[in-house]
Amino acid sequence: MTENLWTRWPSREALSPKEITRPRRLLAWGVRLLVLVALVWSALHDSRVHGWAGVAGAGGLLVAGGLAWALFRTTLEHRLWPSLALVLALLLLAVGAEAAGFRSAAVVLCCGCAVAALERLPLAAAVPVASAGFAAFAAVDDDRGLVSASVIGGMALAGWALRLDAEARGTAQRLLAQERAARAAEAESAALAERARIAREIHDVLAHSLSAQLVHLEAARLLIERGADREQILERVVAARGMARDGLEETRQSLSALRGEVTPLEEFLTGLVGASEGAEVTVAGERVTLPVEASQAVRRVAQEALTNARKHAPGAKVSVRLEYGPREVTLDVRDSGGSPGELAQAGGGYGLLGMRERAELLGGSLAAGPDEEGFVVTLKVPV
Protein backbone atom coordinates (compact mmCIF):
# COMPACT_ATOMS: atom_id res chain seq x y z
CA MET A 1 0.00 0.00 0.00
CA THR A 2 1.37 3.40 -0.99
CA GLU A 3 2.05 5.73 1.93
CA ASN A 4 0.21 9.05 1.93
CA LEU A 5 2.43 11.85 0.65
CA TRP A 6 1.03 14.37 3.15
CA THR A 7 1.54 12.20 6.23
CA ARG A 8 4.81 10.58 5.20
CA TRP A 9 7.92 11.58 7.12
CA PRO A 10 11.25 11.96 5.38
CA SER A 11 13.21 8.78 6.04
CA ARG A 12 15.64 8.56 8.93
CA GLU A 13 18.44 8.11 6.41
CA ALA A 14 17.39 11.44 4.88
CA LEU A 15 17.27 13.27 8.21
CA SER A 16 20.42 11.76 9.69
CA PRO A 17 23.72 13.59 9.14
CA LYS A 18 25.79 10.40 9.31
CA GLU A 19 25.86 9.78 5.58
CA ILE A 20 26.41 13.41 4.58
CA THR A 21 29.76 13.98 2.93
CA ARG A 22 32.45 15.91 4.75
CA PRO A 23 32.35 18.96 2.40
CA ARG A 24 28.60 19.30 2.92
CA ARG A 25 28.98 19.05 6.68
CA LEU A 26 31.62 21.76 6.61
CA LEU A 27 29.35 23.94 4.47
CA ALA A 28 26.41 23.45 6.87
CA TRP A 29 28.48 24.33 9.91
CA GLY A 30 29.94 27.28 8.04
CA VAL A 31 26.44 28.65 7.39
CA ARG A 32 25.49 28.20 11.04
CA LEU A 33 28.65 29.93 12.18
CA LEU A 34 28.03 32.79 9.74
CA VAL A 35 24.49 33.29 11.07
CA LEU A 36 25.76 33.24 14.64
CA VAL A 37 28.47 35.78 13.91
CA ALA A 38 25.92 38.02 12.16
CA LEU A 39 23.59 37.87 15.16
CA VAL A 40 26.37 38.65 17.62
CA TRP A 41 27.64 41.49 15.43
CA SER A 42 24.15 42.94 15.16
CA ALA A 43 23.67 42.73 18.92
CA LEU A 44 27.00 44.35 19.74
CA HIS A 45 26.31 47.30 17.42
CA ASP A 46 22.82 47.86 18.77
CA SER A 47 22.97 50.68 21.33
CA ARG A 48 19.95 49.28 23.15
CA VAL A 49 21.69 46.02 23.92
CA HIS A 50 23.62 46.43 27.17
CA GLY A 51 23.61 45.18 30.74
CA TRP A 52 20.81 42.78 31.55
CA ALA A 53 19.52 42.99 27.99
CA GLY A 54 22.77 41.54 26.75
CA VAL A 55 22.61 38.75 29.35
CA ALA A 56 19.02 38.01 28.35
CA GLY A 57 20.01 37.96 24.69
CA ALA A 58 22.85 35.50 25.37
CA GLY A 59 20.51 33.32 27.42
CA GLY A 60 17.92 33.41 24.66
CA LEU A 61 20.56 32.38 22.13
CA LEU A 62 21.50 29.35 24.26
CA VAL A 63 17.85 28.42 24.71
CA ALA A 64 17.25 28.69 20.96
CA GLY A 65 20.25 26.42 20.32
CA GLY A 66 18.95 23.83 22.79
CA LEU A 67 15.46 23.90 21.28
CA ALA A 68 16.87 23.57 17.78
CA TRP A 69 18.95 20.53 18.82
CA ALA A 70 15.91 18.96 20.47
CA LEU A 71 13.87 19.60 17.31
CA PHE A 72 16.55 17.83 15.30
CA ARG A 73 16.32 14.77 17.57
CA THR A 74 12.53 14.57 17.66
CA THR A 75 12.19 14.88 13.90
CA LEU A 76 14.90 12.24 13.45
CA GLU A 77 12.81 9.92 15.64
CA HIS A 78 9.59 10.86 13.75
CA ARG A 79 7.85 12.21 16.87
CA LEU A 80 5.27 14.65 15.57
CA TRP A 81 3.75 16.30 18.67
CA PRO A 82 7.05 16.97 20.47
CA SER A 83 8.38 18.42 17.21
CA LEU A 84 5.39 20.75 16.86
CA ALA A 85 5.77 21.80 20.49
CA LEU A 86 9.42 22.67 19.95
CA VAL A 87 8.64 24.67 16.78
CA LEU A 88 5.97 26.58 18.71
CA ALA A 89 8.50 27.30 21.48
CA LEU A 90 10.97 28.65 18.93
CA LEU A 91 8.31 30.88 17.36
CA LEU A 92 7.34 32.21 20.81
CA LEU A 93 11.01 32.84 21.46
CA ALA A 94 11.10 34.81 18.21
CA VAL A 95 8.16 36.90 19.38
CA GLY A 96 9.98 37.55 22.65
CA ALA A 97 13.15 38.51 20.79
CA GLU A 98 11.18 40.97 18.68
CA ALA A 99 9.63 42.48 21.80
CA ALA A 100 13.07 42.80 23.42
CA GLY A 101 14.45 44.57 20.39
CA PHE A 102 16.42 41.64 18.90
CA ARG A 103 14.84 41.92 15.47
CA SER A 104 17.63 40.10 13.62
CA ALA A 105 17.35 37.13 15.97
CA ALA A 106 13.56 37.13 15.55
CA VAL A 107 13.90 37.11 11.76
CA VAL A 108 16.40 34.21 11.87
CA LEU A 109 14.18 32.18 14.22
CA CYS A 110 11.06 32.70 12.12
CA CYS A 111 12.78 31.79 8.86
CA GLY A 112 14.67 28.90 10.43
CA CYS A 113 11.48 27.36 11.81
CA ALA A 114 9.75 27.65 8.43
CA VAL A 115 12.65 26.15 6.46
CA ALA A 116 13.25 23.36 9.02
CA ALA A 117 9.54 22.46 8.95
CA LEU A 118 9.53 22.15 5.16
CA GLU A 119 12.67 20.01 5.28
CA ARG A 120 11.97 17.71 8.22
CA LEU A 121 8.23 17.44 8.97
CA PRO A 122 5.39 15.65 7.13
CA LEU A 123 3.82 17.99 4.60
CA ALA A 124 0.50 18.05 6.49
CA ALA A 125 2.32 19.63 9.44
CA ALA A 126 5.10 21.39 7.50
CA VAL A 127 2.81 23.63 5.41
CA PRO A 128 0.93 25.25 8.35
CA VAL A 129 4.10 25.56 10.43
CA ALA A 130 5.99 27.14 7.52
CA SER A 131 3.05 29.47 6.87
CA ALA A 132 3.10 30.56 10.52
CA GLY A 133 6.84 31.12 10.38
CA PHE A 134 6.70 33.15 7.18
CA ALA A 135 3.76 35.16 8.57
CA ALA A 136 5.82 35.97 11.67
CA PHE A 137 8.72 36.96 9.44
CA ALA A 138 6.48 39.26 7.41
CA ALA A 139 5.25 40.85 10.64
CA VAL A 140 8.71 41.70 11.95
CA ASP A 141 10.33 42.45 8.59
CA ASP A 142 10.89 46.08 7.72
CA ASP A 143 10.36 45.49 4.01
CA ARG A 144 6.88 45.34 2.57
CA GLY A 145 5.22 44.12 -0.58
CA LEU A 146 7.20 42.54 -3.37
CA VAL A 147 10.54 42.38 -1.56
CA SER A 148 9.12 40.54 1.43
CA ALA A 149 7.15 38.18 -0.82
CA SER A 150 10.27 37.45 -2.87
CA VAL A 151 12.25 36.60 0.27
CA ILE A 152 9.48 34.34 1.55
CA GLY A 153 9.20 32.59 -1.83
CA GLY A 154 12.96 32.07 -1.98
CA MET A 155 13.07 30.59 1.52
CA ALA A 156 10.12 28.32 0.74
CA LEU A 157 11.91 27.06 -2.36
CA ALA A 158 15.07 26.57 -0.32
CA GLY A 159 13.22 24.49 2.28
CA TRP A 160 11.55 22.39 -0.42
CA ALA A 161 14.89 21.88 -2.19
CA LEU A 162 16.48 20.76 1.07
CA ARG A 163 13.63 18.29 1.56
CA LEU A 164 14.01 16.84 -1.93
CA ASP A 165 17.78 16.63 -1.50
CA ALA A 166 17.42 14.84 1.83
CA GLU A 167 14.90 12.37 0.39
CA ALA A 168 17.15 11.69 -2.60
CA ARG A 169 20.07 11.10 -0.24
CA GLY A 170 17.94 8.77 1.89
CA THR A 171 16.84 6.82 -1.18
CA ALA A 172 20.44 6.49 -2.29
CA GLN A 173 21.41 5.20 1.15
CA ARG A 174 18.62 2.62 1.12
CA LEU A 175 19.61 1.46 -2.35
CA LEU A 176 23.22 1.24 -1.25
CA ALA A 177 22.22 -0.83 1.78
CA GLN A 178 20.16 -3.13 -0.44
CA GLU A 179 23.07 -3.50 -2.84
CA ARG A 180 25.41 -4.36 0.02
CA ALA A 181 22.92 -6.92 1.32
CA ALA A 182 22.59 -8.40 -2.18
CA ARG A 183 26.36 -8.62 -2.52
CA ALA A 184 26.64 -10.27 0.87
CA ALA A 185 23.94 -12.77 -0.10
CA GLU A 186 25.69 -13.40 -3.42
CA ALA A 187 29.00 -13.96 -1.66
CA GLU A 188 27.35 -16.34 0.80
CA SER A 189 25.68 -18.21 -2.05
CA ALA A 190 28.99 -18.49 -3.89
CA ALA A 191 30.66 -19.78 -0.72
CA LEU A 192 27.92 -22.39 -0.25
CA ALA A 193 28.22 -23.44 -3.89
CA GLU A 194 31.98 -23.78 -3.52
CA ARG A 195 31.56 -25.83 -0.36
CA ALA A 196 29.09 -28.08 -2.18
CA ARG A 197 31.54 -28.47 -5.05
CA ILE A 198 34.36 -29.40 -2.68
CA ALA A 199 32.13 -31.84 -0.81
CA ARG A 200 30.96 -33.39 -4.08
CA GLU A 201 34.53 -33.69 -5.33
CA ILE A 202 35.77 -35.34 -2.15
CA HIS A 203 32.76 -37.66 -2.11
CA ASP A 204 33.31 -38.77 -5.69
CA VAL A 205 37.00 -39.43 -5.13
CA LEU A 206 36.42 -41.43 -1.96
CA ALA A 207 33.44 -43.29 -3.41
CA HIS A 208 35.47 -44.36 -6.44
CA SER A 209 38.55 -45.34 -4.43
CA LEU A 210 36.73 -47.13 -1.63
CA SER A 211 34.43 -48.93 -4.07
CA ALA A 212 37.43 -50.28 -5.99
CA GLN A 213 39.09 -51.37 -2.75
CA LEU A 214 35.88 -53.05 -1.67
CA VAL A 215 35.81 -55.06 -4.90
CA HIS A 216 39.25 -56.51 -4.24
CA LEU A 217 38.67 -57.04 -0.52
CA GLU A 218 35.40 -58.82 -1.26
CA ALA A 219 37.22 -61.00 -3.74
CA ALA A 220 39.84 -61.77 -1.11
CA ARG A 221 37.09 -62.73 1.33
CA LEU A 222 35.50 -65.08 -1.20
CA LEU A 223 38.86 -66.65 -1.94
CA ILE A 224 39.47 -67.21 1.77
CA GLU A 225 36.04 -68.84 2.17
CA ARG A 226 36.80 -71.16 -0.75
CA GLY A 227 40.16 -72.06 0.71
CA ALA A 228 42.18 -70.59 -2.16
CA ASP A 229 45.94 -70.57 -1.97
CA ARG A 230 47.91 -67.79 -0.37
CA GLU A 231 49.12 -66.24 -3.61
CA GLN A 232 45.61 -65.60 -4.92
CA ILE A 233 44.52 -63.97 -1.69
CA LEU A 234 47.69 -61.91 -1.48
CA GLU A 235 47.13 -60.72 -5.05
CA ARG A 236 43.74 -59.27 -4.12
CA VAL A 237 45.07 -57.63 -0.97
CA VAL A 238 47.93 -56.06 -2.91
CA ALA A 239 45.44 -54.82 -5.49
CA ALA A 240 43.35 -53.25 -2.71
CA ARG A 241 46.46 -51.57 -1.37
CA GLY A 242 47.17 -50.25 -4.86
CA MET A 243 43.65 -48.87 -5.04
CA ALA A 244 44.19 -47.11 -1.72
CA ARG A 245 47.37 -45.58 -3.09
CA ASP A 246 45.54 -44.52 -6.25
CA GLY A 247 42.77 -43.01 -4.14
CA LEU A 248 45.32 -40.94 -2.26
CA GLU A 249 46.76 -39.74 -5.55
CA GLU A 250 43.29 -38.89 -6.84
CA THR A 251 42.61 -36.93 -3.67
CA ARG A 252 45.74 -34.91 -4.31
CA GLN A 253 44.64 -34.36 -7.90
CA SER A 254 41.25 -33.16 -6.67
CA LEU A 255 42.92 -30.68 -4.37
CA SER A 256 44.98 -29.47 -7.31
CA ALA A 257 41.81 -29.18 -9.39
CA LEU A 258 40.19 -27.08 -6.68
CA ARG A 259 43.18 -24.77 -6.95
CA GLY A 260 42.79 -24.68 -10.73
CA GLU A 261 45.80 -26.92 -11.39
CA VAL A 262 44.54 -29.81 -13.54
CA THR A 263 46.25 -32.10 -15.99
CA PRO A 264 44.93 -32.17 -19.59
CA LEU A 265 41.77 -34.24 -19.88
CA GLU A 266 43.13 -36.47 -22.66
CA GLU A 267 46.23 -37.25 -20.61
CA PHE A 268 44.12 -38.10 -17.59
CA LEU A 269 41.84 -40.45 -19.56
CA THR A 270 44.83 -42.14 -21.20
CA GLY A 271 46.39 -42.79 -17.83
CA LEU A 272 43.06 -43.97 -16.41
CA VAL A 273 42.37 -46.37 -19.24
CA GLY A 274 45.99 -47.56 -19.32
CA ALA A 275 45.55 -48.93 -15.81
CA SER A 276 42.73 -51.23 -17.02
CA GLU A 277 43.28 -54.34 -19.09
CA GLY A 278 41.41 -54.52 -22.36
CA ALA A 279 40.55 -50.80 -22.44
CA GLU A 280 41.28 -48.12 -25.03
CA VAL A 281 40.63 -44.39 -25.39
CA THR A 282 39.71 -42.36 -28.46
CA VAL A 283 39.61 -38.55 -28.78
CA ALA A 284 37.68 -36.86 -31.61
CA GLY A 285 36.97 -33.28 -32.56
CA GLU A 286 38.89 -30.05 -32.07
CA ARG A 287 40.10 -29.77 -28.50
CA VAL A 288 38.72 -26.89 -26.43
CA THR A 289 39.54 -25.79 -22.90
CA LEU A 290 36.79 -26.91 -20.56
CA PRO A 291 35.73 -25.18 -17.36
CA VAL A 292 37.02 -26.86 -14.23
CA GLU A 293 33.56 -28.17 -13.29
CA ALA A 294 32.99 -29.72 -16.73
CA SER A 295 36.47 -31.23 -16.79
CA GLN A 296 36.02 -32.74 -13.35
CA ALA A 297 32.62 -34.14 -14.33
CA VAL A 298 34.15 -35.97 -17.31
CA ARG A 299 36.95 -37.33 -15.12
CA ARG A 300 34.67 -38.58 -12.38
CA VAL A 301 32.15 -40.13 -14.77
CA ALA A 302 34.97 -41.93 -16.59
CA GLN A 303 36.33 -43.24 -13.29
CA GLU A 304 32.94 -44.43 -12.10
CA ALA A 305 32.06 -46.05 -15.44
CA LEU A 306 35.37 -47.96 -15.55
CA THR A 307 34.91 -49.06 -11.94
CA ASN A 308 31.43 -50.34 -12.78
CA ALA A 309 32.77 -52.15 -15.83
CA ARG A 310 35.46 -53.92 -13.77
CA LYS A 311 32.92 -54.78 -11.09
CA HIS A 312 29.97 -55.91 -13.20
CA ALA A 313 31.76 -57.19 -16.33
CA PRO A 314 35.25 -58.34 -15.33
CA GLY A 315 37.45 -59.16 -18.28
CA ALA A 316 35.22 -57.29 -20.77
CA LYS A 317 36.72 -55.01 -23.40
CA VAL A 318 36.10 -51.35 -22.54
CA SER A 319 36.26 -48.42 -24.96
CA VAL A 320 36.33 -44.76 -23.92
CA ARG A 321 35.53 -42.09 -26.51
CA LEU A 322 35.85 -38.36 -25.86
CA GLU A 323 34.36 -36.14 -28.56
CA TYR A 324 34.59 -32.34 -28.62
CA GLY A 325 31.66 -30.64 -30.31
CA PRO A 326 30.87 -26.98 -31.03
CA ARG A 327 28.49 -26.75 -28.08
CA GLU A 328 29.13 -29.77 -25.90
CA VAL A 329 31.66 -32.44 -25.06
CA THR A 330 30.56 -36.07 -25.09
CA LEU A 331 32.09 -38.93 -23.13
CA ASP A 332 31.10 -42.44 -24.15
CA VAL A 333 32.19 -45.45 -22.06
CA ARG A 334 31.02 -48.85 -23.21
CA ASP A 335 31.99 -52.45 -22.42
CA SER A 336 31.56 -55.62 -24.42
CA GLY A 337 29.67 -57.35 -21.63
CA GLY A 338 30.58 -60.28 -19.46
CA SER A 339 29.56 -62.37 -16.53
CA PRO A 340 29.04 -60.24 -13.42
CA GLY A 341 30.17 -63.05 -11.19
CA GLU A 342 29.95 -62.88 -7.44
CA LEU A 343 31.41 -59.34 -7.13
CA ALA A 344 28.47 -57.55 -8.74
CA GLN A 345 26.88 -56.89 -5.37
CA ALA A 346 29.94 -55.08 -4.00
CA GLY A 347 29.65 -51.32 -3.56
CA GLY A 348 26.80 -49.04 -2.59
CA GLY A 349 24.95 -48.90 -5.92
CA TYR A 350 24.80 -45.08 -6.03
CA GLY A 351 27.31 -44.56 -8.88
CA LEU A 352 24.86 -43.84 -11.70
CA LEU A 353 22.76 -41.57 -9.51
CA GLY A 354 25.82 -39.53 -8.51
CA MET A 355 26.98 -39.24 -12.13
CA ARG A 356 23.55 -38.12 -13.28
CA GLU A 357 23.32 -35.49 -10.53
CA ARG A 358 26.76 -34.14 -11.45
CA ALA A 359 25.74 -33.87 -15.12
CA GLU A 360 22.44 -32.12 -14.33
CA LEU A 361 24.18 -29.59 -12.10
CA LEU A 362 26.16 -28.50 -15.15
CA GLY A 363 23.13 -28.39 -17.44
CA GLY A 364 24.15 -31.62 -19.17
CA SER A 365 22.72 -35.12 -19.35
CA LEU A 366 23.73 -38.69 -18.66
CA ALA A 367 22.35 -41.85 -20.23
CA ALA A 368 23.27 -45.30 -18.97
CA GLY A 369 21.93 -48.70 -19.98
CA PRO A 370 22.60 -51.92 -21.88
CA ASP A 371 23.19 -52.05 -25.63
CA GLU A 372 23.64 -54.90 -28.12
CA GLU A 373 26.90 -56.10 -26.57
CA GLY A 374 27.20 -54.85 -23.02
CA PHE A 375 26.65 -51.64 -21.08
CA VAL A 376 27.14 -48.02 -22.20
CA VAL A 377 27.41 -44.75 -20.28
CA THR A 378 27.10 -41.49 -22.25
CA LEU A 379 27.76 -38.09 -20.70
CA LYS A 380 27.07 -34.79 -22.46
CA VAL A 381 28.28 -31.55 -20.89
CA PRO A 382 27.77 -28.10 -22.46
CA VAL A 383 30.89 -26.05 -23.15
pLDDT at 294 over 50: yes
- Give the C-alpha separation, 383 to 378, whole Å: 16
Over residues 263-284, the mean pLDDT reads 76
Helix (H) or strand (E) holding 367: strand 365-370
| pLDDT more than 90, % of the chain | 3
Contacts of 20 (CB under 8 A, 6+ apart): 28, 169
Query: pLDDT at position 80, please?
Result: 87
Residue 45 dihedral angles phi and psi, to the nearest 5°: -95, 5
Distances (CA, A) of 375 to 5, 279, 291, 310, 369: 71, 14, 28, 12, 6
pLDDT in tens, 164-223: 887 887 888 888 888 988 998 888 888 787 777 777 767 766 776 777 788 888 888 888
Nearest C-alpha neighbor of 200 from the set 331, 307, 346, 357: 357
Contacts of 53 (CB under 8 A, 6+ apart): 100, 101
pLDDT in tens, 323-360: 998 889 999 998 877 655 444 444 444 467 777 877 88
Amino acid at 137: F
| Between 207 and 125, residue with greater pLDDT | 125
Nearest C-alpha neighbor of 123 from the set 158, 80, 77: 80
pLDDT in tens, 98-115: 777 777 778 888 888 888
Query: pLDDT at position 3, please?
Result: 57
Distances (CA, A) of 204 to 167, 199, 276: 55, 9, 19
Q: Are 216 and 347 in contact (CB under 8 A)?
A: no
Banded pLDDT at 379 (limits 50, 70, 90) = very high
Query: pLDDT at position 101, please?
Result: 74
- Give the C-alpha separation, 36 to 13, whole Å: 27
Query: pLDDT at position 51, please?
Result: 54
3-class secondary structure, 254: helix
DSSP alpha helices (H): ranges in the chain? 12-15, 22-44, 52-76, 80-99, 103-120, 123-140, 146-226, 230-258, 265-274, 292-312, 351-361
Over residues 47-51, the mean pLDDT reads 52
pLDDT at 163 over 60: yes
